[in-house]
């Protein structure tokens, strides 16, 4: 079986620049995950309200909508790796925000760092996608899908894993210092990547040349479906993920931090492992299959729906969240692969930016609705109402744009 991980290992052995790029983002992800632990850990220590905890998730996604515009336009003017280095520099300077939040017990400052991180993630996503499209062959695109999944899941898997272990041992200041060091190391590795990579000129990659502007009316059914997969995942998954700390607070009012942080770790472990189950040679088939996509989203919601009922045992709760994100990140991998596979190089950065914007906007709308209902009905009832409605809407969309 041509497992995605096997394909990634082959690509890493063949491309020195890919190893450098992967190392850079893994290091940066460790630091970002530590900062996320600091933010959520401090909010839980300060007994923030469920709406504030949910708002933290909104602020960790919505600014990516605006960041993707900068990333899309930047890819037309400068090499994508230069843009990635810029995002790492800006991320390092943004660490002053959680410092101010801790020193002055300021919740808005703690939430602001989430906004900056989301903006920079949206800015870097088109550049990262374009780097893979220009640097890898068509046969190696499944490896790029696996790498993107590893990069975005490592932020919480590695960073949160360390953060959960270190949060009660070291001060938040120490954890933020580790984040700063990871940014510096990532910048150095990205600079080395730029020296080793050979990016094929866009004009040589597709015939005839394609315009970079993405217009919905001119897209094929497959391209439209590709752009809709990540927003579909956001509609179903974002309310549940945003409400996770509040659900933990509801389940264990006296020990919310002790439950919420391990649940965040289990979430990212599932995100990491899910795509690795896919067969790289069948990605196109899976991406076109409504049955597979809806089954994964259904498993995700079933696991989250069972969490308030079966979470008396921490091991059970961790297992449910792991299974949920094992399923959800299969959909994420298929969404990222579809954009890479079905758009030409000239328009792939624009397509990925558009998918990112729709994803973040959908996540923000669904999460805001969930936060409002959580204040009235409670976190569990809000989860059932919003996510099940979103799943029904996604099923209709997938049927409308099936190939």
Task: Using alpha carbons only, give the angle 1, 157, 279 rounded to the nearest 5 degrees.
Answer: 15
Distance in angstroms (rounded) separating the CA atoms of residues 64 and 125: 9
pLDDT at 150 over 90: no
Strand partners, 279: 3
Task: Using alpha carbons only, give the angle 60, 62, 66 rounded to the nearest 5 degrees.
Answer: 120
pLDDT tens digits, residue range 284-341?
888 888 888 999 999 998 988 887 777 667 788 888 889 998 898 889 888 888 888 8
What superfamily would CATH give domain 4-198+210-400? MFS general substrate transporter like domains (1.20.1250.20)
If you average pLDDT over residues 19-36, what whole number do you get?
83
What pLDDT band is residue 207 in, cutting at 50, 70 and 90? very low
Selection from 93, 95, 85, 84 nearest residue 36 by Cα: 95
Distance in angstroms (rounded) separating the CA atoms of residues 390 and 396: 10
Distance in angstroms (rounded) separating the CA atoms of residues 357 and 361: 6
**Could you check whether the bond before residue 208 is cis, i.e. omega within 30 degrees of 0?**
yes
Name every residue whose Cβ is closer than 8 Å to that of residue 180 and which is 6 or more positions away in sequence.
31, 92, 95
- Do residues 386 and 239 lie in contact, with contact meaning Cβ atoms separated by under 8 Å? yes
pLDDT at 182 over 50: yes
pTM for the model: 0.74
- When comparing pLDDT for 187 and 261, which is higher? 187
Name every residue whose Cβ is closer than 8 Å to that of residue 296 and which is 6 or more positions away in sequence.
327, 328, 330, 331
pLDDT at 281 over 60: yes
Task: Using alpha carbons only, give the angle 37, 329, 338 rounded to the nearest 5 degrees.
Answer: 130
Distance in angstroms (rounded) separating the CA atoms of residues 330 and 332: 5
Name every residue whose Cβ is closer than 8 Å to that of residue 93 and which is 6 or more positions away in sequence.
none
Per-residue pLDDT, 211 = 41
If you average pLDDT over residues 113-122, what whole number do you get?
86
Q: Match 């932020």 to its residue by tokens.
A: 155
pLDDT at 168 over 70: yes
Selection from 194, 206, 225, 146 nearest residue 345 by Cα: 206
CA distances from 113 to 110, 285, 345, 386 (A): 6, 39, 33, 27
Query: Which of 59-73, 116-130, 149-163 has the weakest average pLDDT?
Result: 149-163
Per-residue pLDDT, 28 = 83
The total of other beta-carbon atoms located within 10 Å of residue 361's CB is 16
Selection from 24, 292, 297 nearest residue 147 by Cα: 24
Report domain extents, the chain.
4-198+210-400
Q: Tell me the helices (H) and strands (E) count for the chain, helix number first.
A: 16, 0
The total of other beta-carbon atoms located within 10 Å of residue 274's CB is 25
Per-residue pLDDT, 296 = 92
What pLDDT band is residue 86 in, cutting at 50, 70 and 90? very high
If you average pLDDT over residues 69-94, what whole number do you get?
89
Q: Coil, strand or helix: which one is 47? A: coil
Percent of the chain beyond pLDDT 90?
11
Distance in angstroms (rounded) separating the CA atoms of residues 178 and 31: 6
Query: Which of 78-92, 118-132, 247-261, 335-349 has the weakest average pLDDT?
Result: 247-261
pLDDT at 276 over 80: no
The total of other beta-carbon atoms located within 10 Å of residue 128's CB is 26
If you average pLDDT over residues 140-162, what whole number do you get?
73
- Do residues 98 and 110 lie in contact, with contact meaning Cβ atoms separated by under 8 Å? yes
Percent of the chain beyond pLDDT 70?
86
Mean pLDDT taken over the chain = 81
What pLDDT band is residue 1 in, cutting at 50, 70 and 90? very low
- Print burial letters for 204-219: b (CB count within 10 Å at least 16), e (below 16): ebeeeebebebeeeeb
pLDDT at 365 over 80: yes
Per-residue pLDDT, 210 = 43
Per-residue pLDDT, 316 = 84
What pLDDT band is residue 54 in, cutting at 50, 70 and 90? low
What pLDDT band is residue 191 in, cutting at 50, 70 and 90? very high
- When comparing pLDDT for 310 and 256, which is higher? 310
Q: Is 309 exposed, middle or buried (0-12, 13-18, 19+ CB in 10 A)?
A: exposed
Q: Match 């700063």 to its residue by tokens.
A: 180
pLDDT at 206 over 70: no
Per-residue pLDDT, 255 = 61
- Do residues 142 and 94 lie in contact, with contact meaning Cβ atoms separated by under 8 Å? no
Name every residue whose Cβ is closer than 8 Å to that of residue 347 and which is 6 or more positions away in sequence.
210, 211, 212, 213, 214
- Do residues 91 and 120 lie in contact, with contact meaning Cβ atoms separated by under 8 Å? yes
What pLDDT band is residue 208 in, cutting at 50, 70 and 90? very low
What pLDDT band is residue 352 in, cutting at 50, 70 and 90? confident
The total of other beta-carbon atoms located within 10 Å of residue 345's CB is 21
- Do residues 71 and 350 lie in contact, with contact meaning Cβ atoms separated by under 8 Å? no
Largest CA distance in the chain: 63
């Amino acid at each position: 079986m041509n497992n995605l991980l096997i394909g990634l290992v082959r690509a890493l052995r063949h491309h020195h620049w890919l190893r450098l790029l992967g190392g850079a983002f893994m290091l940066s992800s460790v630091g970002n995950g530590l900062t996320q632990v600091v933010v959520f850990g401090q909010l839980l220590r300060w007994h923030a309200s469920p709406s504030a905890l949910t708002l933290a998730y909104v602020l960790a996604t919505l600014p990516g909508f605006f960041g993707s515009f900068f990333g899309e336009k930047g890819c037309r003017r400068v090499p994508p790796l230069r843009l990635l280095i810029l995002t790492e520099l800006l991320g390092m300077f943004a660490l002053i925000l959680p410092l101010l939040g801790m020193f002055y017990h300021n919740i808005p400052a703690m939430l602001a760092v989430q906004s900056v991180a989301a903006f920079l993630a949206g800015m870097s996503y088109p550049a990262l996608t374009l780097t893979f499209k220009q640097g890898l062959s068509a046969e190696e695109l499944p490896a790029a899908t696996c790498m993107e999944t590893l990069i975005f899941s490592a932020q919480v898997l590695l960073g949160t894993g360390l953060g959960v272990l270190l949060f009660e041992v070291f001060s938040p200041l120490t954890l933020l210092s580790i984040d700063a060091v990871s940014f510096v190391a990532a910048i150095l590795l990205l600079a080395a990547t730029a020296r080793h990579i050979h990016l094929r000129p866009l004009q040589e990659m597709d015939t005839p040349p394609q315009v970079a502007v993405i217009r919905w009316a001119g897209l094929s059914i497959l391209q439209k479906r590709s752009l809709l997969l990540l927003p579909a995942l956001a509609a179903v998954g974002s309310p549940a993920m945003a409400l996770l700390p509040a659900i933990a607070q509801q389940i264990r009012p006296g020990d919310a931090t002790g439950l919420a942080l391990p649940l965040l770790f289990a979430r990212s472990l599932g995100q990491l492992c899910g795509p690795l189950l896919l067969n790289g040679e069948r990605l196109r088939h899976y991406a076109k299959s409504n049955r597979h996509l809806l089954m994964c989203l259904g498993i995700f919601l079933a696991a989250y729906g069972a969490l308030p009922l079966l979470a008396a045992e921490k091991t059970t709760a961790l297992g449910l969240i792991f299974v949920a994100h094992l399923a959800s990140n299969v959909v994420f991998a298929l969404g990222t692969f579809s954009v890479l596979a079905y758009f030409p190089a000239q328009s792939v950065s624009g397509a990925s930016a558009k998918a990112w914007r729709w994803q973040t906007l959908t996540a923000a709308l669904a999460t805001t609705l969930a936060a409002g209902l959580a204040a009235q009905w409670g976190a569990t009832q809000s989860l059932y109402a919003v996510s099940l409605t979103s799943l029904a809407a996604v099923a209709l969309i997938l049927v409308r744009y099936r190939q």
